[in-house]
Amino acid sequence: MTMLSADFIALEQALGAHNYKPLDVVLARGEGVWVWDVEGRRYLDCLSAYSAVNQGHCHPRILAAMVEQAKKLTLTSRAFRNEQLALFYEEVATLTGSHKVLPMNSGAEAVESAIKAVRKWGYEVKGVPEGQAEVIVCANNFHGRTITIVGFSTDPDARGGFGPFAPGFRVVPFGDAAAFEAAITPNTVGFLVEPIQGEAGVVIPPAGYFKRVRELCTTHNVTLILDEIQTGLGRTGKLLAEEHEGIEADVTLIGKALSGGFYPVSAVLSNSEVLGVLKPGQHGSTFGGNPLACAVARAALKVLTDEGMIENSAVQGAYFQQALAGLRSNIMREVRGRGLMIAVELHPEAGGARRYCEALQARGVLAKDTHGDTIRLAPPLVIGREEIDWAMEQIEPVLTGAV
């Protein structure tokens, strides 16, 4: 019996936990910027699995690396060494200018690992009294879904009903350097922040904010931790979003596109001073740094740089934003973004972004609403002008009321 979209959706509803509210499209295949549902309808993917498939769906070079490695060796645990890990270290360190690399699996694991390492650094290097380390975070942050992370979220949906939470975090407004400075104490060991707040609706800080933050962190001996899990690896038109302000973080977190969407791979990138505090037995992961993950990540990084995807993100992102900003629409409040990380914020009276995402789905464009009134547009970095022009032909009537 052939199952249709409605059958899959009914089965999901009956057996799955209802912790997501996806658009009602059931995807079966992907290639480049396009995906197809089980009935064969084609869609332009304008979410890229939250920037995990920057390299496009099922990129053949990454697929080949995955298949080749899967035939040889997939998992050893870190009890033994494997031939892929050292090469992964070398290539990611060379590309990003990092001195030390800690491989993990999910983005949330990278965040948790960074918090652990920076707290330990605070006690052993900075001299903070044991148990008193503080990490400053920003309001409207999104760093993952673990208990520690949702404990310092300001989103009531993310944290409501999940307490008690771990202490040791202070929340300040995003983009306000003076508020950050005022929150620093002798016990502050780190500042964990997204270069651009993705889940909050592609919120870009004021020019000069990160230069000032970098100065303050250096002055007060505070570790600057940039969560580049979504903004990194070409999404904003630079390898890392920190490059837009010419700064360098002390700790950089990458994930998502690190595997091109084939496999969960993340990493903490830092210096010897911070990651050097971790000794054998103090932190680990059975799957972190496994040979399959490393082979996939190595191919994903090569593809990103060899095929000019970062530069394409800058060029096509500017073109896409300009086209969106040129729409004559009564419901659009603002278009903002960097590279191919774009948001269209609607006026509250538009009735919410979800209905417009559903209208776009009906016209073959998959985008996702966030924070009620914002549509996020983040296609794979392989998108070309022709696909953007086609997308605009679908987006324009939806946002201008022509349909």
Question: Token pair of 33, please?
Answer: 């910027």
SS3 305: helix
Length of the chain: 403
Contact 31, 63 (CB under 8 A): no
**What are all long-range contacts of 14-23, with beta carbons under 8 Å and residues at least 24 apart?**
23/357, 23/358, 23/361, 23/366, 23/368
Residue with tokens 């948790």: 112
**Are the C-beta atoms of residues 347 and 334 closer than 8 Å to each other?**
no
The pLDDT score that the predictor gives to residue 312 is 98
How much is the pLDDT for 401?
84
Catalytic hit among 256, 262, 287, 369: 256
Question: Could you tell me the two tokens for 205?
Answer: 């800080």
Give the pLDDT score at 24. Answer: 97
Asked if 389 and 382 count as a contact pair (C-beta separation under 8 A), the reply is no
Identity of residue 318: A
Does residue 343 contact residue 333 with C-beta atoms inside 8 Å?
no
Distance of CA 283 to the CA centre of its chain: 23
Structural domains for the chain: 60-306 (3.40.640.10), 311-336+344-351+360-369 (no CATH)
Taking each continuous run of H as one helix and of E as one strand, the counts in the chain are 14, 15
Cα–Cα distance for residue pair 205/203, rounded to 1 Å: 7
Q: How many whole angstroms separate alpha carbon 134 and alpha carbon 339?
A: 33
What is the Cα–Cα distance from 346 to 67, expressed in whole angstroms? Answer: 44
| Alpha carbons within 13 A on the beta-carbon side of 237 | 17
The catalytic position among 142, 169, 191, 287 is 142
Q: How far apart are the first and last CA of the chain?
A: 36
Residue 227 a catalytic site member: yes
pLDDT at residue 399 in the model: 97
Q: Cα-flanking dihedrals φ and ψ of residue 344, to 5°?
A: -115, 110
Retrieve residue 282's tokens: 């103090």
Tens-digit pLDDT profile for the chain (403 aa)?
899 999 999 999 999 999 999 999 999 999 999 999 999 999 999 999 999 999 999 999 999 999 999 999 999 999 999 999 999 999 999 999 999 999 999 999 999 999 999 999 999 999 999 999 999 999 999 999 999 999 999 999 999 999 999 999 999 999 999 999 999 999 999 999 999 999 999 999 999 999 999 999 999 999 999 999 999 999 999 999 999 999 999 999 999 999 999 999 999 999 999 999 999 999 999 999 999 999 999 999 999 999 999 999 999 999 999 999 999 999 999 999 999 999 999 999 999 999 999 999 999 999 999 989 999 999 999 999 999 999 999 999 999 986 5
Q: Is 162 annotated as catalytic?
A: no
pLDDT at res. 403: 57
pLDDT at 184: 98
The CA distance from 189 to 262, in Å, is 34
Burial of 141 per CB tally in 10 Å (0-12, 13-18, 19+) = buried
Which residue has 């992961």 as its token pair?
A: 285
250 in catalytic set: no
Report how far apart, in Å, the C-alpha atoms of 138 and of each of 15, 111, 286 are. Answer: 36, 14, 31
DSSP assigned state of 356: H
DSSP 141-176: ----SSHHHHHT---HHHHTT-------EEEE-TT-
Question: Of the residues 37, 45, 227, 369, which is catalytic?
Answer: 227
With a CB cutoff of 8 Å and minimum separation 6, the contacts of 362 are none
